[in-house]
Each structure stands twice: as C-alpha cells, then as structure tokens.
Amino acid sequence: MDEDQGSTTTLGFEQYVFVLKRQWRVILAATVLGGIAAAGYLVVAQQTVTATTTINLNVITTEPFSAQKAASGLLDDATETAIARSHVVASRASDLLDGDLSPSEIRAASTVTTSSGAAVVTVDFDADSSAEAIKGADAVASAYLSFRSDQAQERITVMVTNLTERIDALNTTLGEANQALVSADVTSAAYAQATTQRQQILTELDGLLSQRNGLQSVDTTGGIVLSAAEDNELGFAPGRTVTLLTGIAAGLVLGLIAAFVWNPFDRRLRNAKEMSRALRAPVFATVDARREDVPARGAAADSLRVTRERLLVDIYLGTTVLVIDATHRTETSPTAVNLAVVTAQAGHDVQFIVPEGTDEFHEHLRAALALEEEEAGTATSATIPSLRVFSATDEGDEYQGDLLLTDQTYAAIENAGSDEITFLVLSSAAHPASILAGLRVAQSVVVVTRERDTTTSEIRWIREEADGIDTRILGAIAERGLPRAQRKESGIAWPFPARSERAATLRHEARNPVAADS
C-alpha cells in the first residue's frame, strides 16, 4: 500500500513537471505580460515621492543634564506629534515655502512619528517630485523646531519679567529696612524688627535671583536636524522594484495556472519525449523530414536502420505490421515507405501495402524503387529483390467488408509467405473502421509521427484501440517538424508533378463511407 502511494505521488509530481516544461511558453508569456502590466501601471499611475527629515528635540529645562531623570522622560509623544501636525507649524512651513503650498495641503502631505521617548522625531513629506518632497520635509522640520524655540522663549520671557518685577519690589523694601536699621536704636524693638525683615527680604531675593538666573540660562533651541531630507533615501509610491516584482510574480502565478488549464487543449505533440509519453511506447528514431527521400539516404537512412534492428527483435517472420501514418501529410509519409525498404534491404522478404495510395503515388513508387509487374497487383523491386509492393485492383464499396482493406488486400495479407513480413500502411485520417480492421489483422503496430502535427487525441485513440484487441504497439518513428510555410508542400520528394484532382477524389472516396444506391 505504501509503495502504491509512493508511485502515485511520483507520477503526480512527474505530471506537474511535464506540464510545466511543456507549457513553458505560456508561463513565460504570462510572466512577461505581468511585468509589462506592472511597468505600464508605473507609467500611468501618479507617482508620489516621500522625503524624510530626522530631528532630535532639545528638552527645554533649567536642569538639562540632571542625573535623576532622563531628558526623554520630560517629553510626551502625543504632545510633540500634535504640535508638529498643528496648523500653526503648517502655517510657518507654508511661509518657508513662499506660499507654494497652503497649510492644509502641508498637513495632508506630512506625517510625523516619534521614537526614543519622543526625543527623535521623523517628518515624512509626500509630493509629486523629489525636489518638492525634500523642500517640504525640511520646511516642516524647521517650522516645528522654530515653533518649539519661540514658545519656550516666550514663556521664559514672561517668567523672567515677573521675577524681575518682584525682585525690584523687594529691593525697594530692602532699602526701607536698611534705612530703619540706621535710624533705630540698637537696643530697641524697632531695630530688632527691621533686622528680621531685612533677613527675610535677603533670603527671598536670593531665591528669586537664583530662579531668574536659571531661566535666563535655559537653552531655548527647539532641537537639531540629525539628517536632512536630501541626506536620506527617497521613497517612491508605488515603488518601482516592489511593483515590478509584484507584477512579475502575479504573472508567474497566472502563468502556472494557465499552463495547467491550457495543457489539455494543447494537443499537438512537440517532440519525441511527448510522443513516447502519449503512446506509452518508445520512439525509435527522429528523422529529418526535410531531407527525406526514397530510398532513405544519409542520416535518415542510418536512423531507420537502427529502428529496423530494434523492430526485428519483436517482429516475427510471417506477421503483419500495421504502420499508422500520423504525420498529416498530403501523401503517404516517406518514412513509412522507407521502413519497409530498409527492412527489405536487410535481406528479409517484405510485402508493402498502401491501400490509400493513389495511382500517381504507386507510379511514383514504381519509378523510385524500379518496380516490375509480376502478376496482377504485385510488383517487385529490381533494385531490392526482396521487396514487393501490392496494389489492390478492386475498390472498396458497399459490397466489400472494408473501404480500404478490400478482399484482394485481405487475400494478399493472408497469402503472405511464412518468411515474409507485411507492412500495411494506413493514415490516421483513414476511417476508424479501416484502422480497427488493420489492428485486427496485424500482430504489431508502428506509428509514424511528426512534431507539431501529430495530436494527443489520435495517439490516445490508437493506443486504447490497440490495447483493447491486444495488438502490441512496438513504438514510433518521429519526423522533425517543418515550418508552417512548408507543411502543405511536404511529402515524398518525387521528381513528378503533384497528384491530379481525380486521384484526390478517389482517395477521398476511399476514406468515407460509400452511400448505398438509391
């Protein structure tokens, strides 16, 4: 049970990897589109630049360096934030900006945050350009510091004035007390009273003078700028990097989803690996269809010889091999022809049957292989004596068992020699009944495919029908795909004109059921 679960997991993972590799173009396109969409958004969307100024507040006190309490403990976060965001500070900042922005606009564009117990204040300012954002942040910071300084100075001035008035009054009283001491008898009660009064006045004067001196020595500077806006990194909203990465990531995710959605509809097989996966059988060779000829030459011939040797391991003499041509050519694939040719070249007796071949096709074949008629419907190659080609003279109609596999064709297959291999070629576009009949009379199947033309639906149908009647699929031979402009012109490279309209009509009738006579 554990092994089955592990196998299922492996197959599922392999399927995911297969789909992703197969649909990489969809994923790439979606990712690129996501990046383009993000870039377009950056172009269209209004960009906001944020500049930041950091300031350090001074604690305005007569004992700024007191060890009993930290300076930051004398500051209140909420109070300092409210002051920095106040209309008064915004008005001062507007004046510093020469009225380019109103106080309301400045308050809307600025953000104030505090840290370290309100000792450090950060002013952020949003604007459409870098220059405006820098000027705005510095203006708000300067206005805030100057407001704190002016407010402190005003309060100190009022307190010093009050203390000075009290000191002046005490000095006057002290003068009167001194005069009383001079005129009074030392032993009198008046002298004692004047002495006591003088001492009280001096004590109070010492305290008031100390307070006034302390207030006059207070540093009313609001604070200092730790880092100006131009020294800090500017922020951009929407952020270029974040927006682009978000667009690319979103495109990638959509691409992954689209890959799995589109894959079932993308039926064209692109390479030998996909063909082998769909057919569940090996692809023996991939030949270059653009250099294909009959007989095969060069690299194509070498590939087909390797294929022949692999097939002969599983093909027994006296049996029939159904070659299904799924290349979607306008003529029978030259690869299907050459498979029979290279087998005959190895010295094996080969019978080659192409029920869908037109008169022109057989004429072309006769010229390429130097066929010589021996008896009705059978021709032997003069260059490859072990190869003979059978062409039925009867036509499929309502009196025949099949439209393509006529009585003569069945007889040729049944009467093949015990040492002879029969290659029966049918196109995947043939009537399903004809293909099923071919699967029934054959002992094995070879499929000829072409990149970007053969589809998963036809391969799946062939595989399921072959499995249903226990006809073994040995494998496939793949042809490399051609550019779209050349696909309709592909076929066997005969030195003859294209087939006539009459031949095309005959082939069309052979593929479709014949209506009964009325």
The mean pLDDT of the chain is: 84
Return the structure tokens found at 366.
Answer: 């006769």
pLDDT of 32 higher than 70:
yes
User: What is the length of the chain?
Assistant: 518
Mean pLDDT confidence for 357-372: 86
Per-residue model confidence (pLDDT) at position 506: 41
Handedness of CA 376, 378, 382, 385 (dihedral sign): negative
Handedness of CA 240, 243, 249, 255 (dihedral sign): negative
Which among 502, 439, 497, 496 is positioned nearest to 466, based on CA atoms?
Answer: 439
Which among 158, 171, 151, 146 is positioned nearest to 216, based on CA atoms?
Answer: 158
Which among 409, 376, 367, 380 is positioned nearest to 493, based on CA atoms?
Answer: 367
3 state SS of 274 = helix
CB contact at 8 A, 187 and 194: no
What are the phi and psi torsion angles at 123 (to 5°)? -110, 120
Q: Could you tell me which CATH number the domain at 272-511 has?
A: 3.40.50.300
User: What are the extents of the domains in the chain?
Assistant: 19-45+239-265, 48-237, 272-511
Which among 463, 423, 419, 429 is positioned nearest to 443, based on CA atoms?
Answer: 423
Contacts for 345 with CB less than 8 Å, ≥ 6 apart = 295, 384
Which among 354, 341, 353 is positioned nearest to 308, based on CA atoms?
Answer: 341
pLDDT of 210 higher than 90:
no
The 10s digit of each residue's pLDDT in 139-149 is 999 999 999 88
Mean pLDDT confidence for 345-359: 92
Contacts for 423 with CB less than 8 Å, ≥ 6 apart = 320, 321, 323, 336, 339, 340, 343, 350, 351, 352, 353
CB contact at 8 A, 174 and 201: yes
Measured CA to CA, the distance from residue 453 to residue 449 in angstroms comes to 8
Per-residue model confidence (pLDDT) at position 78: 87
Return the structure tokens found at 341.
Answer: 């040719």
Per-residue model confidence (pLDDT) at position 23: 86
Per-residue model confidence (pLDDT) at position 359: 82
The 10s digit of each residue's pLDDT in 78-119 is 888 899 999 999 999 999 999 999 999 999 999 999 887 778
Q: How many CB atoms lie within 10 A of CB 115?
A: 12
